[in-house]
Chains A and B, each alone.
Chain A
Amino acid sequence: MPEVSPATLVEFRDLIVSYGPLRALDGVTGVFLPGATGLLGPNGAGKTTLLKTLLGFLRPDGGSLRAFGLDPGTAALDVRRRIGYMPEGDCHISAMTAAAFVAFAGELSGMPRAEAISRAHEVLYYVGLGEARYRTVDTYSTGMKQRVKLAQALVHDPDLLLLDEPTNGLDPEGREEMLVLIRDVAARRGMSLVLCSHLLRDVERTCENVVVFNQGRVAAAGPIAALTGPRAPVFDVRLKGDPTAFLTDLKDAGGDWREGEDAYRVFLPEGRGPEAIFGLARDCGVQVRYLRPGAESLEDVFLRALAEPLAPTLSSDGTGRGQG
């Protein structure tokens, strides 16, 4: 078995995957580095297709995909045994207790039976289901089912954990607990993971890297810190008066804006400062009632990536943005 490159767990280059005439992945290039990586994108963007190709369920029509230095198309079993997959949908075996279910999952991954049983109990305690491990999974709440799904993905101690919408259907408390678990797995247990989610806050809280998919292509990729770092001055602004002229003139001046919860997020052209906002406000007859320097959030990166025309490029440091 080839050695795992310390720099890259998964590498895909010009990867094309089609369902009949529909291209789900259209020549995507990128990497999953050790640590936690968020996989973002709207529905149908190609996230789940990439996961299925990684697991060897789908054969690429072109390009290459390597996981741990192996081709999942020809060495699917060797790749899968090093991956823990937590599917998006419900998945359990009727009438089986959580302890039996997780131990069974361990056995399916190639663990000896005795070791799988021992690990199942440990992992169920770890995800907070120790007291309920002898109940059948059918009787579990949604939150408990999500946890048992995480436990079955962890039981064989994979090198890479694939989490497909792990907070789906959870109440705020359950979601918080699941995110804490995910962070713990990545930060303290030294396990790499790919978190596939629609929820940007979840990805922002748990991941260091992100790959944004749009229409089967990579729209942005790289460390979240680099993508959300200073690109252009950003301010949160509240205005009094009709803001239409202000916002139009802002766009004309090369800036941009987005409506936030209680303020406008204003993106100024590079090299411009808050005085530009005051100047524009004066010219347009509105008052600036609140102004605070802001930083770009993952949401800003995501929305900009989706809005930009797609021509995926990756720089040598693995950071890339969709560029027009």
Chain B
Amino acid sequence: MPIYDQTYRRYEARGPLRQVRFWPITREALRLILAKRAFLGLLGVALLPLVVRAVQIYVVTRVPEAGRILPIDGRLFGEFLNQQIGFVLLLSVFGGAGLIANDLRTGAILIYLSRPLTRRDYVFGKLGVLLALNFGVTLGPALVLYGIGIAVAPEVFVRADRAWIAPAIVLHSAVIAGVLGLVALAASSLSRSARIAGLGFFGLVAGLETARGILGAMSHRPEAHVLSLQHDLRMLGNAFFGIAERGVSVPTSYPALVLGLVCVACLAILRARVRAVEVVR
């Protein structure tokens, strides 16, 4: 019997379109990324600071004198999230570089766009991957750490005047994950090669950091610090958690404005690139 004589069943159960259409895109991309052992290893390493901070909280509650060197208060979470920015950068390079670049290379983008999906669904679906990964090393462990703090040292953390900690954790995590996720995704959309996209993203972040250092040293002006994405994120985090930074006195609105502009630019790039693909191919 020829193979095409096998049963072909008509599908009659066509229901209404899903409201949340981007979820399958996020889920499948996450599944493919998390199937890589190297990536899981990187995620594991990114969670080590959580263990260190948890030990810090435990030690300070048992040996209060240690609190003079390693204080446990709201600033602990801001410092923890600022540390995690480096891991977010690495995850964005390795997890995000191929998200759109690979679809451009293999032509899979037409598979998405010829389905009942909008370009927004596609971009949200891909951005969801980076948000999930980035939240996995920022929001997730920070909330776990907060939970550990409440459990181990309720007298420190369960206080009305520290009720701002949880919202600050959510806000700072969202800013870190959102900004770096958008930049990585925009970089991915600019190339058909995941390697080039990854190098481009890394080059942009490292280049701006280098430029900040050079300009800061030459001009001695604090405004030079807003050139660096990482520094902008840290400055915002410091503002959220009330951490005083030595030698830098820039209004919080400056880094917020820069990061806002970066996000708008990334959205414009994504809009142009995904649209162009549809028309050109």
Contact = CB atoms under 8 A, between A and B. Distances in A.
Interface of A: 19, 52, 55, 57-58, 76-78, 80-81, 83, 85, 87, 89-96, 100, 104-105, 107-113, 115, 119, 122-123, 125-128, 130, 152, 156-157, 180-181, 184, 189-190
Nearest to A110: B17
Contact of B107 (A92, A122, A181): A92
A96 B25 CA distance: 13
Contacts of A125: 3, 6
A130 B7 CA distance: 13
B278 to A, nearest CB: 4
A257 to B, nearest CB: 40
A245 B110 CA distance: 54
Given A81-B116, A119-B9, 19 more contacts: A57-B279, A76-B116, A78-B17, A78-B116, A80-B114, A80-B116, A87-B114, A89-B281, A92-B106, A92-B107, A93-B32, A96-B32, A104-B24, A105-B115, A108-B24, A109-B116, A112-B15, A126-B7, A189-B10
B42 interface: no
Given A94-B106, A111-B11, A128 B279 contact: no
Contact of B279 (A19, A77, A96, A105): A19
Contacts of B66: none
A107 B23 CA distance: 10
Interface string B15-43: 10110010011001000100100000000
B120 to A, nearest CB: 12
Given A93-B111, A110-B116, A122 B13 contact: no
29 contacts: A19-B279, A55-B114, A57-B278, A81-B116, A85-B110, A87-B111, A90-B106, A91-B110, A91-B111, A93-B102, A95-B32, A95-B35, A96-B32, A104-B24, A104-B28, A107-B24, A108-B24, A110-B14, A110-B17, A110-B116, A111-B11, A113-B24, A115-B11, A126-B4, A126-B8, A157-B10, A180-B4, A181-B4, A189-B10
A292 to B, nearest CB: 34
Contact of A52 (B2, B4, B279): B279
Contact of A89 (B103, B107, B115): B107
A108 B8 contact: no
Interface string B98-127: 100011001110111111111000000000
Query: What interface size band does chain B fall in?
Result: 35 or more
Contacts of B115: 80-81, 105, 108-109
B281 A93 contact: no
Nearest to A113: B24
Nearest to A84: B114
B3 A115 contact: no
Interface string B171-210: 0000000000000000000000000000000000000000
Contacts of B111: 87, 91-93, 105, 108, 152
A93 B4 contact: no
Contacts of B4: 126-128, 180-181, 184
B112 A108 contact: yes
A52 B11 contact: no
Nearest to A105: B111
A115 B113 contact: no
Given A81-B17, A94-B106, A189 B114 contact: no
Contacts of A104: 24, 28
A92 B13 contact: no
Contacts of B107: 87, 89-92
Contacts of A52: 278-279
A117 B97 CA distance: 28
B108 A77 contact: no
A180 B17 CA distance: 33
Contacts of B113: 55, 57
A156 B25 CA distance: 17
Given A91-B110, A184-B4, A108 B25 contact: yes
A58 B276 CA distance: 11
A110 B114 contact: no
Nearest to B118: A77
Interface in B23-77: 24-25, 28, 32, 35
